[in-house]
Amino acid sequence: MKKTTKKSWMIVSALTIGMAVFTPHQAEATIAKTTNEITVKAEQQIKGTIKSVYGDSITIKGKDGKNYYIGIQKFSDEQLEKMNLVEGQEISVEGSLVQDYSDFYTFDVYKKSLPKEITKKDLAKLEKLFNQTKKLEKEEKYDEVEKVNLEMDKITKPYILASWVPVSFEEFIEEYGFSEKNIVIKEKDKKQLKDIYQQWIKLEKSGKEENAQEKFDEFQKVLQPYLDALNPPLTFEEYISDLELNIPVEAMPKLKTIYDDAKKADKDKNDQLSEKLWGEFDEMINPYFKPLSFEDYLSDFDFEIKANDQKELKKLYEEATALDKKGDYEKSNAKWDAIDKILNPYFEANKEILISASKVTINGKVYTSKH
Contact by Cβ (8 Å): 52, 69: no
pLDDT for the residue numbered 291: 81
Q: Quickly state the pLDDT bin for 371 (edges 50, 70, 90).
A: low
Query: Per-residue confidence at 211, pLDDT binned at 50, 70, 90?
Result: very high
Average pLDDT, stretch 81-85? 92
| 176: DSSP letter | T
Distance of CA 165 to CAs 20, 23, 159, 212, 319, Å?
11, 20, 12, 16, 60
Beta carbons within 8 Å of 284's beta carbon, 6+ residues apart: 251, 254, 255, 258
Q: What is the mean pLDDT of residues 31-45?
A: 49
Query: Which pLDDT value is given to residue 36?
Result: 40
Using alpha carbons only, how large is the chain's radius of gyration in Å? 26
The region of weakest confidence among 31-45, 200-214, 313-327 is 31-45
Average pLDDT over residues 9-21: 34
E-assigned strand segments in 114-180: none
Please count the CA atoms within 13 angstroms of the CA of 122 that sit on its side-chain side: 16
Q: Phi/psi at 329 (nearest 5 deg)?
A: -75, -25
What confidence tens digit (pLDDT) does each residue in 90-121 have? 999 999 999 888 899 899 889 988 998 999 99
- Give residue 21's pLDDT: 35
Mean pLDDT calculated for residue range 224-229: 92
Distance between CA atoms of residues 77 and 367, nearest Å: 12
Q: Which of 1-15, 151-165, 295-309 has the lowest mean pLDDT?
A: 1-15
Query: What pLDDT shows up at residue 285?
Result: 86
Cβ atoms of residues 85 and 58 within 8 Å: yes
Calculate what percentage of the chain has a pLDDT beyond 70: 88
Predicted pLDDT at 42: 52
Q: Look at residues 273, 313, 274 and name the one whose alpha carbon lies nearest to residue 293.
A: 313
Does 13 score more than 50 pLDDT? no
- Residue 340: enclosing H or E segment and its boundaries? helix 329-349
Share of the chain above pLDDT 90, in %: 60
- Residue 325: band (very low, low, confident or very high) from pLDDT cuts 50, 70, 90: confident
Express each pLDDT in 261-301 by its tens digit. 999 998 888 999 999 999 999 888 887 888 889 999 998 88
**Residue 7, pLDDT above cutoff 60:** no
- Enter the pTM of the model: 0.63
Amino acid of residue 24: P
Helical H segments across 207-328, by residue range: 209-230, 236-243, 252-267, 271-285, 294-299, 307-326
Q: What pLDDT is recorded for position 247?
A: 85
pLDDT in tens, 123-173: 999 999 999 999 999 899 999 999 999 999 999 999 999 889 999 999 999
